[in-house]
């Protein structure tokens, strides 16, 4: 059985140790997620983009509670409502992610950390994604 990422190249996964993959511009210092093909800073004219691992911790910038069960991307055995949110990893770098945080613990500014999320299981193994959890909660 294998562990497969939901999307190739979005993150690196070594067991429970996970890192989002992005781009870093050597000219202006901007970071991007997911990986970008070019720097979007109009004042940057000589930047080269390099693949990088992004910070694993940040703060909750905004969130929403999802009660609607979407059509399944994979055969999900059990579904329950969940939170999604925008996490600020560093000034100017925000990512959208599922949140593994209880509804009554959600608040803007909450320190969070990146973790592996088993999204589904099939005959070949697991399909993994990424999730943010309250810092120090695992």
Predicted local distance difference test score (pLDDT) of residue 15: 66
Place of tokens 């781009």: 23
Q: Going residue by residue through the chain (138 aa), what tens digit of pLDDT does each one get?
A: 677 777 788 888 876 689 999 999 999 999 999 999 999 999 998 779 999 999 999 999 999 999 887 676 655 567 789 999 999 999 989 999 999 999 999 999 999 999 988 877 778 888 888 999 999 876
Closest C-alpha to 24, from 55, 51, 1: 51
Gap between the Cα atoms of 92 and 66, Å rounded? 26
Predicted structure pTM score: 0.85
Predicted confidence at residue 89, as pLDDT, reads 97
How many Å apart are CA 65 and CA 101, to the nearest integer? 10
Q: What local confidence, expressed as pLDDT, does residue 8 receive? A: 80
* Tokens at 123, concatenated: 């005959």
| Rounded Cα–Cα distance for residues 38 and 48 (Å) | 8
Phi, psi (degrees; rounded to nearest 5) at 75? -70, 90
Contacts of 109 (CB under 8 A, 6+ apart): 59, 60
Rg (CA), the chain: 16
d(CA 88, CA 23): 16
For 31, the token pair is 């970071």
């Amino acid at each position: 059985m294998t562990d497969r990422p939901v999307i190739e190249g979005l993150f690196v996964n070594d067991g429970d140790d996970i890192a989002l993959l992005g781009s870093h511009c050597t000219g202006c210092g901007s970071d991007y997620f997911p990986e970008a093909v070019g720097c979007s800073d109009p004042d940057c004219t000589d930047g080269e983009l390099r693949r990088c691992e992004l910070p694993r911790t940040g703060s909750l910038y905004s969130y929403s509670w999802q009660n609607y069960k979407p059509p399944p991307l994979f055969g999900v055995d059990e579904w329950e409502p969940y939170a999604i949110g925008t996490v600020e990893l560093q000034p100017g770098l925000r990512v959208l992610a599922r949140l593994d945080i209880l509804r009554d613990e959600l608040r803007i500014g909450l320190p969070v950390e990146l973790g592996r999320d088993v999204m589904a299981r099939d005959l070949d193994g697991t399909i993994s994604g990424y999730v943010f959890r309250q810092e120090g909660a695992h």
